Chain A
Amino acid sequence: MMNSKKIIAYIVRITLWALVIAFFWWAISENMFDKIFNEPETFKGLLTAHIQLTVISAGLAILTSLPLGILITRPWFRKSEWLIVNIANLGQTIPSLAVLALAMSFLGIGMPTAIVALYVYSLLPVLQNTIAGLDSVQPEMKDAAKGMGMTPLQILFRVELPNASSSILAGIRTAVVLNIGTAALAYLIGGGGLGVWIFTGIQLYDNQTLISGAIPVTLLAVLVDFIFRGLQYVLVPKGNRLATKAVTD
């Protein structure tokens, strides 16, 4: 069914794409990407560093937050859950730049510092969504599972995680996409990455350098967002996907 909301969303999307295409048209016709082709080796180095920053920091953040989120939603941790959730919410309101500055004052400059800062910054979205997802699993479902003789681990892996997977995946997607954008700030503490061109471009009023750094970062974020949306079809059980679709349609 086509309602007015969907039509508006459609128009907005088409307009956005038109703007993006117009921008690229302008950028290409003005040779804005020349820096990439003139200095392919530098570009490759910056891109690799950027991806390293994101993959290592976001990867470690997922490896920390996912088990942590599972742990504090277990019955024997219930009492402290509110504390952790509150800390997580508070942490989310601290600006990314402040996290970078804080990390630098303890660890000095360089890539490892940037990775630590980005890691801290990515912990919270994953943690929040893991907790929210696991909490949203109906108590009746867990009760039925327990009453049928599932062990706590079986309940976790067969009932809780599959039914929380959509929320957890959304948290990971948010964290990684934010991470890619934020990694551009790593330049400020000598962490490398595509931020080098972006900030150099800003400082020198050099649009060519700025855009040669900014556009790849944007494309990277869009690409990763796209991949994670696709991943949903692999990782979220079909029944849950269909059920959500049936509700929203």
Chain B
Amino acid sequence: MIDFKNVTKIYGGEVKAVDDITMSVNEGEFVILLGPSGCGKTTLLRMVNQLETITDGEINVNGQNVKEMDKIKMRRNIGYVIQSNGLFPNMTIEKNTMIVPDLLGWDRKKKRDRFNYLMDLIGLNPDEYRKRYPHELSGGQQQRIGVARAMASDPPVMLMDEPFGALDPIIREKVQDEFLTIQKEVKKTILFVSHDIDEAVKMGDKISLLRQGQIMQYASPTEMLHRPKNDFVSEFIGKDRVLRSMSLYTVNDLVEALGLKSKEEDIQDTKEITIDTSLRVALSMLLNKEADELLITDDQGEAHGSLTFDLIETFINREVRGA
């Protein structure tokens, strides 16, 4: 869907921001551009919708060379979200969200329906927010509107530059979760810039780790955590890679691999969690002594057994370390 072929970007004849990058993003894939500040993530992203010129090499979107496409037309067909949401203070939330449909000349009814649909998708009441202005919304809400706006004309490709970077950690987690749920439904092809390894591991189908404009490793989060390709990758992932990789698994993965213990009657200190909770969350609940055992239930509320610290340890040794 997005193909980078030997792409290079040199600013002002001297700063090599992107250095001979070749990679592809398949349709429906969620790919993270990860790396330290200044490694060229934003530049690489902005060359896709021609906000930056390409010094050398070529980028194809859907088999078409971006250089040969009409800039204005192609941008209207690619969702774009930036860190400071870039909402316009002079427009209502509805106007802000419907900018691209406006540019495309949609009729009023179609725009209204789309707005209602998108607001439901991001969990905000359309009628409550329609006539409000950006400054009346919290940072998290503004960022969600920024995402809705990028999806307004239902573009197949989305470019997102640290969209949740300015949010405080608790809100960020929440918005990330929401966005993952949305992505499950809409299945966009996403190129997403982040400098946060935890965010990358949690969100991405694949991670492209960059350093000084070059790809250090392009792989799935599991692959990268288990088989870092070089010292830079291992160092960037950090020592707590085992803990980190826990967020890749849900309780269900453990159940399938090991099964659960049957609940012991004499243990009082228990708590219920659902089977699709991430193992990282479950582990931290146990470590924080919120409970000695976690009772696992499924969507229907049916009990499956209980999860203990020992079980998680066994799972780590078998699945994570051993893999």
Interface residues of A (CB under 8 A from B): 138, 140-141, 143-151, 154, 158-159, 162-163, 237-240, 242-243, 246
Contacts and interface: CB of A to CB of B under 8 A. Distances in A.
Contacts of B99: 145, 148, 150
The 3 closest A-B pairs by CB, nearest first: A144-B86, A149-B76, A149-B75
B89 A239 contact: yes
Interface in B21-51: 49, 51
Summarize A's interface: helix, strand, loop or mixed: helix
Interface of B: 49, 51, 71-77, 80, 82, 84-92, 99-100, 103, 133-136, 149, 159
Contacts, number: 79
Contact of A147 (B80, B84, B89, B90): B80
26 contacts: A138-B84, A141-B88, A143-B86, A144-B86, A145-B99, A147-B75, A147-B80, A148-B76, A149-B73, A149-B76, A149-B77, A150-B72, A150-B103, A158-B88, A162-B90, A163-B88, A238-B133, A239-B88, A239-B89, A239-B133, A240-B90, A242-B136, A243-B89, A243-B133, A243-B135, A246-B136
A146 B92 CA distance: 19
Contacts of B149: 148
Contacts of B92: 239
B82 A146 contact: no
Contacts of A149: 71-77, 100, 103
Contact of B80 (A148, A237, A243, A246): A148
B135 A239 contact: yes
Contacts of B77: 149
A159 to B, nearest CB: 6
A151 B84 CA distance: 21
Nearest to B103: A149
B73 to A, nearest CB: 7
B112 to A, nearest CB: 19
B80 A242 contact: no
A155 B298 CA distance: 51
B86 A140 contact: yes
Contacts of B80: 144, 147-148
B245 to A, nearest CB: 34
Contact of B51 (A147, A162, A243): A147
B151 to A, nearest CB: 12
A163 B90 contact: yes
